[in-house]
Amino acid sequence: MAEKFHTELKNLKKDTVAMAHFARDMLRTAVDALIRQDKDLAVSVVAKKDALRDMEVKLEDRCYQLIALDQPMAKDMRIIVCTLKVVSASMRIGRYGKVIANIVKDISDKPHISHMMSIPHMADLAMEMIDDSVKAYEMDSIALISDFSARDDTIDALRHSIFREGITHMMEDPKTISRCTHYIMVARYLERCADHACKIAENVHYMNTGERIEIH
């Protein structure tokens, strides 16, 4: 019985990592579509939302079944709890990818302003945080998330910088208001994705140590 449970738990983690990668790729592709002003690429992201939702429902059900049927304790229970958090965070990351993809059609007919005001760099940093938090979950390791507080501070600073620069452009030229507003919103979405990576990291730490931390 115990062997069957741990096999199912191992497979659950594997499939949860696959969902996290799927959601991360939605976000990455959406940002690439924005940078390249590629409407077709953006549409391909939006088309994945139902598949992402299906993964969420099925993985949550498997978590609940393991809890109900096997009554896990100690670290086994913490793994399932962490898995539920990873599933939830992945769903939100994928949704932000969908929202960014929907923005592409609104601003793809005009040239970018000021090289998108550090959004590509901010996106790269957010992707790295997502990748490291998921890898930490996959590998049962907290080494990859030890510097997340400082990395989150960098993301926050970039969002504020993009906000200030966007406001400056809008004041100087009202014709930029629509595009700059979208840039500011994209920066906010990327910040939220980094926050979800931090939440994954917090739960990975709890999963491995039994101690709760807050990354801020």
Residues 31-78: tens digit of each pLDDT:
999 999 999 999 999 999 999 999 999 999 999 999 999 888 899 999
Q: How confident is the model at residue 1 (pLDDT cuts 50, 70, 90)?
A: low
137 and 204 Cβ atoms separated by less than 8 Å: yes
Q: Among residues 95, 73, 107, 120, which one has the least CA distance to residue 178?
A: 107
pTM: 0.96
pLDDT at 3: 87
pLDDT at 134: 98
Q: How confident is the model at residue 201 (pLDDT cuts 50, 70, 90)?
A: very high
pLDDT at 59: 98
pLDDT at 70: 86
Percent of the chain's residues with pLDDT above 90 = 90
Domains of the chain in sequence order: 2-209 (1.20.58.220)
Q: In whole angstroms, what is the distance from residue 186 CA to residue 192 CA?
A: 10
- In the block, residue with structure tokens 């993964």: 55
Query: Between the CA of residue 152 and those of 22, 145, 173, what are the distances in Å?
Result: 22, 11, 32
122 Cα distance to chain centroid: 13
